[in-house]
Amino acid sequence: MAGNHYHTDGDTIDYDFENDSLYFFLKGANYLHSVNLDNVIIDFGDDNYVKGVEIQNASKRFGVSKSALMRTCQIDFHLDVSEEKIELNIQITLEIRNKFTPKSMIATDANEFHLPSGTIGMSCAVC
């Protein structure tokens, strides 16, 4: 499966202020399994597409206040998978003081989950 590319467009962004958890997902998609990569939980559906992504401790991960995360306008998720490692890149766009402000995070880990090699992406916008 080397070189495969999967992309999903999410339709919902939700932020849990109390638990500091940012979640974006595709409503109604079949759920098959989850992978926890450095406190980012990636939910997979059929054919290894991304069904949803939960970012725990989101305000700390992106270096912003919890109230800023309540105004998340767009999220772009990119996962590069090889046999040896997984590299995760998430960029969010927040509306802060009437300006669109991008923030990003990167996480890497060994591919202990045996995900097939390729690129997996998901985008979600609500603005």
Residue 6 · residue 119 · CB < 8 Å:
yes
Q: 8 falls in which pLDDT band (50, 70, 90)?
A: low
CB-count burial class (<10 Å; 0-12, 13-18, 19+) for 96? middle
Residue 87 · residue 105 · CB < 8 Å:
no
Count structural domains, the chain.
Answer: 1
> What's this model's pTM, rounded to 2 decimal places?
0.85
Quick one: pLDDT at residue 119? 87
3-state secondary structure of 66: helix
Cβ count within 10 A of residue 66: 15
Model pLDDT for residues 16-65, shown as the tens digit of each residue: 999 999 999 888 878 898 999 889 999 988 777 788 899 999 999 999 99
Q: 1 falls in which pLDDT band (50, 70, 90)?
A: very low
The Cα 47–Cα 53 span in angstroms is: 16
Range of the domain at 8: 4-125
Number of H helices and number of E strands within the chain? Answer: 2, 10
The Cα 112–Cα 51 span in angstroms is: 20
